[in-house]
Chains A and B, each alone.
Chain A
Amino acid sequence: MHDFVEITPLGGGAPRVQEINGIVLSEVTDRALASVAARLGQEDEAKALVSGFIEAPAPDAGRLSGSAKSAFWTGPDQWMVEAPIETHEDLAAELSEKAASRASVTEQTDGWCRFDLEGGDLVAVFEILCPVDLRKGQKGDATRTSIDHLGCFVLRRETDLVSVIGPRSSAGSLFHALETAVRAVR
């Protein structure tokens, strides 16, 4: 095992967790990410690759599926696969090997930061963050949209648990936007 010490997207040694207005806002760093994009004409095969890895159907457009290992749709014939970092640190290499020429796999773990919001009035929080309508949405929705000028994925993991995955370099700004919105809830 190498001897480098990691820091979190917020720059700390450990993920930040904060509870405000009954909502737990936490930095999540224990997931590896890799993008999987189907090679031309290999759409079904790529889908099968994702599905086989996450042990659940590959998600349709705008959706998230799986549990211990999961994936969400990011574009036509393109998914982001998530897996525990402890067991899948080099997730991209692992998937790439499985993919052969069926799909293009790219390491994405460190391209992103992830903040989970759980409990409380999440509808009220998200309606001042982005156009994603949590009143109408369901568990399993995965939407890419803009939060505070940042392109983010909004993943409804449970009815009252939402992940926001945004660009890692802006983790501080994104966390600040989320925290401000949580505080503003009436």
Chain B
Amino acid sequence: MIIHHPILGPRDSAEFTYLGDANLIHRPDWQAEDALAQFTDYGYQRKNPAGVHRELWFHEQGDRSWLVVTRNTVTHEITKVELARDVARAEGRDT
């Protein structure tokens, strides 16, 4: 596969390592009343869709950026690639 790195352009997916669902960005608040339940969901519940999926890739043999790649798991079509750090900030990670 080819991943269009937002800074470096098209790169072979072989340069990346894969983590999984981009919802891992949304780590729960440890002080929430139901923190244990939230962390359990966070750690173990995945939608695993046959279709469009937002997922985390690490450019290990490249610039060491974590990316959020929007990819169709059926066709492998990639429709969007963003720096995970930008996504995390935009989606409210505030520390």
Contacts and interface: CB of A to CB of B under 8 A. Distances in A.
* A touching B, CB within 8 angstroms: yes
Interface of A: 61-62, 73-76, 131, 144-146, 151
Given A61-B7, A76-B7, A131 B12 contact: yes
Contacts of B62: 144-145
- Consensus secondary structure, chain B interface: loop
Contact of A76 (B12, B15, B60, B65): B65
Contacts, number: 29
Contacts of B65: 75-76
A7 B39 CA distance: 51
Contacts of A76: 7, 63, 65, 83, 85
23 contacts: A61-B7, A61-B8, A61-B63, A62-B8, A73-B63, A74-B63, A75-B63, A75-B64, A75-B65, A76-B65, A76-B83, A76-B85, A131-B11, A131-B12, A144-B61, A144-B62, A144-B63, A145-B62, A146-B14, A146-B15, A146-B61, A151-B60, A151-B61
Interface string B45-76: 00000000000000011111100000000000
Interface string B82-95: 01010000000000
Size category of the binding interface on chain B: 10 to 19
A145 B63 CA distance: 9
Contacts of B15: 131, 145-146
A170 B46 CA distance: 39
Nearest to B7: A61
A74 B7 CA distance: 12
Contacts of B14: 146
A73 B8 CA distance: 11
Contacts of B12: 131
A62 B7 CA distance: 9
Interface in B1-27: 7-8, 11-12, 14-15
Nearest to B83: A76
B3 to A, nearest CB: 12
Contacts of B61: 144-146, 151
Contacts of B64: 75
Contacts of A145: 15, 61-62
B70 to A, nearest CB: 20
Nearest to A131: B12
B88 to A, nearest CB: 13
A151 B14 CA distance: 12
Contacts of B85: 76
A74 B61 CA distance: 11
B12 to A, nearest CB: 5
